[in-house]
Amino acid sequence: MKRIRRWGPGLLLVSPSIVLIAVFVYGLIGWNIKVSLSDWRQAQPSSGYAGLRAYRDLFHDAVWSLDLRHILIFTVVFIVGTLFVGWTLAFLLDKGVKGEGFFRAIYLFPMAVSFIASGIVWRWLMNPAPGDRETGLNAVFDHAGLHFLVNQWYLGQNWGMAAMAMPAVWALSGYIMALFLAGFRGVPEELREAARMDGASEYRVYRHVVFPHLRPVTLSALIILGHISIKVFDLIVAVGGKQLITQVPAVYMWIQIYDAQDYAKGAAIATLLLIGISVLIIPYLIFTVRSERNA
């Protein structure tokens, strides 16, 4: 009785969210997996069991392997680019700049713009039109005499998805900068001073004192960027539309469900996306739980 009184109210308080999450997150994940194993391949619902048919279909599907290639290029360029730009900006701000608050706000702003809106602007900036119809970045390059930089951007046959990652890098590096800046600031000044007293050069102070403290921040940044990247949909549609040349798994999922009305295949793609994200998230969760227990 006494014990119930101790944890009862707390449980009561969180029970609505437990119920909601159980139904609307895990319940629907379960339902999605069930659909992916079913033979629901047309408009009218059907719940017959078809096993891994939809998954097998995907692995023989040339479109799907192209999607995987696209998302891989996008993810690598997006994560490396964002970490690099965000880290550099944070490093520069940490070194002490006049009007730091101003720069912080400027760099953070792109995150407030939705991918759809910034995608439309970037679609114009990355206009691949040749000759006298040139606009955006290509026109800038041409005027600056940098003609060799003029390119096809997101319509590039092999590396178009790298160009597609640029708007995403632009949008999120400010946020990553904020994370890293907090990380830099989290390193106690005494530690740096102690190192300097011991005669460490500024390079060695960063190399051996500051950077090791940034590891948890880097990991969080990686997780956040990774799951955004795997799920990316709106940016792709805003820049490239519904075309195979820029298609990613999330867009293919939409096409399978609403155009082809192959619900099983669409659900299979959704499940694979979830697995892809779990591969990132679960090690992170284990890591956090462990480090919290140690603390």
Q: Does 17 interact with other proteins (rule: CB under 8 A)? A: no
Sole binder of other proteins in the list 11, 116, 258, 282 (CB under 8 A): 258
Question: Which CB, 84 or 258, lies closer to other proteins?
Answer: 258
Give yes or no for residue 53 binding other proteins (CB under 8 A). no
- Of 99 and 131, the one with the shorter C-beta distance to other proteins is 131
Q: Work out whether 36 is an interface residue with other proteins (CB under 8 A).
A: no
Q: Which of 34, 50, 55, 66 binds other proteins (CB under 8 A)?
A: 66
Shortest CB 131 distance to other proteins, Å: 9
Question: Which H or E element spans position 182?
Answer: helix 160-185
The answer to whether 11 contacts other proteins (rule: CB under 8 A) is no
Q: Does 245 bind other proteins (CB under 8 A)?
A: yes
- The residue from 81, 86, 240, 276 that contacts other proteins (CB under 8 A) is 240
CA dihedral 30, 35, 36, 39 (to 10 degrees): 150
Instruction: By CB under 8 A, name the one of 3, 9, 17, 189 that touches other proteins.
Output: 9
Query: According to the binding rule CB under 8 A, does residue 255 interact with other proteins?
Result: yes
Which two three-digit tokens encode residue 178? 């904020």
* Residue 276 is a binding residue for other proteins (CB under 8 A): no
Q: What is d(CA 77, CA 138) in angstroms, rounded to the nearest whole number?
A: 20
Find the binder of other proteins among 220, 261, 274, 281 (CB under 8 A): 261
How far is Cα 28 from Cα 292, in angstroms, rounded to an integer? 30
38 pairs with which residues across the strands? 49
**Residue closer to other proteins (CB basis): 35 or 195:** 35
What's the burial of 79, exposed, middle or buried (CB within 10 Å: 0-12/13-18/19+)?
A: buried
Number of Cβ atoms within 10 Å of the Cβ of 145? 8
Q: What is the DSSP letter of 42?
A: S
Rounded least distance, CB 63 to other proteins, Å: 5
Q: How many angstroms separate the CA atoms of 212 and 209, rounded?
A: 6
Residues 9, 280: Cα–Cα separation, whole Å: 34
